[in-house]
Structure formats: structure tokens, C-alpha cells
Amino acid sequence: MTSSKTPVALLISGRGSNATALIRAAAQKDFPARICLVISNNPTALGLNVAQAEGIPTQVIDHRPFRKDRVAHEEAIQNALINAGAQVVCLAGYMRLLTDFLTQAWAGRMLNIHPSLLPSFPGLHTHERALKAGVRIHGCTVHLVTEIMDEGRILGQAAVPVFIHDTVESLAHRVLIQEHLLYPQVLRHFLTQHPPSLTGSSLLIA
């Protein structure tokens, strides 16, 4: 049976709660994506268990045997993505910096979720930095991935208040709840407004 759903692959490194949110959304009949593969660079990523429990193919592509050869690691990822027939890739807590090799191969078709309101707080430790900066509003962003970290076109954002007595944990928890809502919503919109071309290697976003 052919499906009109777009095959989407997920890249994870750990807990996989955003991957879980996407997997659950994609299980809905009217959601425009089906998750065709979950790849982790970390063999012990908890997110792999969730995917397997849902019957989704998983693959561990550990970066460590590749040592410093990041491109060779990404070539292995690219082979897996192509074999799985992925048309769109969602980074969901994938904690490795990508080289131009993968970002260019998936230009316009690779999304990432970041735990801050970009362009504020790119990089790591976003909640700690938001608290230190004294911002009153914080949140998360889904954006297209480019060669520059956390810089691609913003596709959607969700904001939360920062309270006086917040800790890193309480703030992270508030943001994460929004991440789980935002990512499926943005992916749905992305696929229905800008369905990926079956033939082209990149997608133009109007």
C-alpha cells in the first residue's frame, strides 16, 4: 500500500522526548509524515527504545569509531537516510555539530528544535544562560538547519514566562512541554505548505 505521508527520519542522541512527540504525532492518520527511521549516534540513547516499541526502524551510527572524521560519520548517516527513503530530516536532540556535507545535502529539508527563542542563546546551556541574563520570556524554536549552528530560517517558536523562583530544571521543564507541542505543529505546517520535491535535492522556502 502506498502512503501519501512524507517519509521523515529523526536524528537523536539521548532521551528522545521530542522524537517521541513526533512519533506519536505521525501515528495519527491525518498527520502528513511517517517516521521512516530513527538514527542515534549514541548506542544507549533512550529514544531508541521508544522508536523500537513503536515498530519504527532504528539505526545506531556511533561517531566514536570515526574518530575525528566527521564527514565519514555523516556519509554513513547519509547512506542510512537514503536507504530509508527519507525526504525530510528532523534533528530531535541530536547533539553533534554537523558539517557542510549533511547540511548541504539536506538544505531546506532538515529541521532542528532548539531550547531557546533564537537568535537568543544559540548553543548549549540555554536555560542557565536565560536565567543568568534575567530574561522574562524564554522558549523554543524550530528552524531550518544551515551550516551555521542554530542560525537557519525560523519556522516556529513557542514562548514561556520566566518566574522569579525558577531553577534551570523548572524552566527546562516548562520549555520542554512546549517543545513537544511545537515540533509536530511546525512539521505538519512545513510538510503541508512546502511539500518536499521528490526529485530535487533541496526545497525552496517562500
Which positions are catalytic? 114
Under rule CB under 6 A, which residues in 113-132 are in contact with ligand GAR? 113-115
Q: Is 139 in the site for ligand GAR (CB under 6 A)?
A: no
Site string for ligand GAR, 43-82 (x = CB under 6 A): ----x-----------------------------------
154-161 and 88-91 as β-strands: parallel, antiparallel, unpaired?
Answer: unpaired
Residue 93 in contact with ligand GAR, rule: CB under 6 A: yes
Residue 150 has a CB neighbour count (10 Å cut-off) of: 17
Strands (E), the chain: 6-12, 33-40, 58-60, 88-91, 110-114, 137-144, 154-161
CB 149 within 8 A of CB 139: no
- Cis status, amide bond into 119, omega within 30 of 0: yes
Pick the stretch among 2-10, 16-24, 78-86, 96-104 that binds ligand GAR (CB under 6 A). Answer: 16-24
Q: Minimum distance between the CB of residue 27 and ligand GAR, rounded to whole angstroms?
A: 17
Query: Measured from the CB of residue 47, what is the shortest distance to ligand GAR in angstroms?
Result: 6
- CB atoms < 10 A from the CB of 92, how many? 26
Q: Does 155 bind ligand GAR (CB under 6 A)?
A: no
Residues making contact with ligand GAR (CB under 6 A): 12, 14-18, 47, 92-93, 113-115, 176, 179
